[in-house]
Amino acid sequence: MTTRASGRAARAPRLGLRANLAQFCLLVAVNALVGGMLGQERTVLPLLAEAEFGLTAYTSALTFILAFGATKAATNYFAGAWSDRFGRKPVLVVGWLIALPVPLLLIWAPSWGWVIAANVLLGINQGLTWSTTVIMKIDLVGPARRGLAMGLNEAAGYLAVAATALATGYVAARYGLRPEPFYLGVAFAALGLGLSTLGVRETREHARLEAAGHTPSPSGRHDHLHARLTDRAVFTQTSFREPALSSASQAGLVNNLNDGLAWGLFPVLFATAGLPVAQIGVLAALYPGVWGLGQLVTGALSDRTGRKYLIAAGMLLQAGALGLVALGGSFAVWAIAAVLLGVGTAMVYPTLLAAIGDVAHPAWRARSVGVYRLWRDGGFAVGALAAGLLADAYNIRTAIWVIAALTAASGLLVAARMYETHPRTVNGATG
């Protein structure tokens, strides 16, 4: 009896990064593989649209991003609800099962419709797996190190996006656009499924532990957001009513709107300027690479300085970087712009997730993260559609200028409407 009781005590969940370091590191590795699944497309697919499928209209060529963004956005919403209902691990494993056919469809696609189908599956995969790794890390670390946790999570994902974009660019330059660049995706899907099935442990009990000891915020700003909110109430508060949650949701949407632009049109712009595929691969990797590395700093920085102004400044820096892309015409100028865009996005990306975690009650935090990611990744679809229509009606540079203006407006809205959410900063203790 004593041995059984001590075994149960040993398995009791504890909050904190140090207490859960092994599982946290495993989830970082899993999210790197999630990012790699996305990275296999960043350089190659925009070039493949015209070279092998003859798509010359920008709107038609960007349908793969539209399909990806729409399905990922919707899946994010359900991932949050399902992880509360069924547990985090089952949702993660199902996400990896759905990833298995994606690189095979891209390798064998006889028509552009197959590519769109692959991106529907990729969107579901990303929505289930990336959302779940975010939720699980928030569960494990507790409130004190939330920004650091999100910085590490997003850094792993986007460094893998960058590394895979760079690798596939070099592979494509040497062997061609298909099939060799997509072999990496086959390996990532198999490894992700294996690690998630055999190594990852459920974290829902960690969220329940935090909820049991949850105390009101020091500012009292969101004490009305009690533990028992319906799905509709969580959606409404996160999307429209609660100032910090809704500000984060609109900023997330605009952030991924400009990322959809960068993914779909930047390689085409660089190609029309005469850059070789290898250099296009470098530029396609540079932006998410700086973004990924920067989050190792900015996530933890937001735990010390607060969330609000880091987000607002990052959005304004992104707008300036997009303007520089529109003005540029050489590899050197575009490389500087890619670095600046990566820095701005690093300031925003983990900080928005940390702000959601600050405000949302642990009992419905997973659902709130799902709603936020619904809006954020809906930006891919909006960005692909807007960028394609503008580029077809005018040109690529005009599309970039318009989206730069929207990004600046989003940053100003955060500065005007959002309040500081980090509890230690609100209390005046930023150390």
Helix (H, G, I), strand (E, B) or coil at 430: coil
Please state, as a whole number, how many other Cβ atoms lie within 10 Å of the Cβ of residue 405: 13
Q: What is the 3-state secondary structure (H, E, C) of 59-74?
A: HHHCHHHHHHHHHHHH
Cβ neighbors of 3 (< 8 A, separation 6 or more) are none
- Gyration radius (Cα) of the chain, Å: 21
In this structure, which amino acid lies at residue 272?
Answer: T
- φ, ψ for residue 328 (rounded to 5)? -75, 165
Tell me which architecture the domain covering 17-204+232-425 has in CATH.
Up-down Bundle (1.20)
CB 68 within 8 A of CB 99: no
Residue 329 to residue 387: CA distance in whole angstroms? 19
Token pair of 311, please?
């987000």
pTM of this structure = 0.78
Per-residue b/e over 194-223, b at no fewer than 16 CB within 10 Å?
ebbeeebbbbbebbebbeeeeeebeeebbe
- φ, ψ for residue 249 (rounded to 5)? -65, -45
Residue 97 to residue 197: CA distance in whole angstroms? 10
Please state, as a whole number, how many other Cβ atoms lie within 10 Å of the Cβ of residue 2: 6
Residue 48 to residue 64: CA distance in whole angstroms? 11
- Give, for all 431 residues of the chain, the pLDDT tens digit: 444 444 444 467 887 888 889 999 999 999 999 999 998 888 888 888 878 888 876 777 778 888 888 898 899 888 888 988 899 999 999 999 999 999 999 999 999 999 999 999 999 999 999 889 988 988 888 776 777 888 888 888 888 988 898 898 889 888 988 899 999 999 999 999 999 999 999 988 887 887 776 555 444 455 455 567 788 999 999 999 999 999 999 999 999 998 888 888 898 899 899 999 889 888 988 988 898 889 889 988 988 888 999 999 999 999 999 999 999 999 999 999 999 999 999 999 889 988 998 888 888 888 898 899 899 988 888 888 888 889 999 999 999 999 999 999 999 999 999 999 876 655 544 33
Per-residue b/e over 252-280, b at no fewer than 16 CB within 10 Å?
bbbbbbbbbbbbbbbbbbbbeeebebebb
Give the pLDDT confidence score for residue 184 in this predicted structure: 93
Domain ranges of the chain: 17-204+232-425
> Rounded to the nearest 5 degrees, what angle is found at the Cα of 316, between the Cα atoms of 312 and 317?
115
CB 27 within 8 A of CB 136: yes
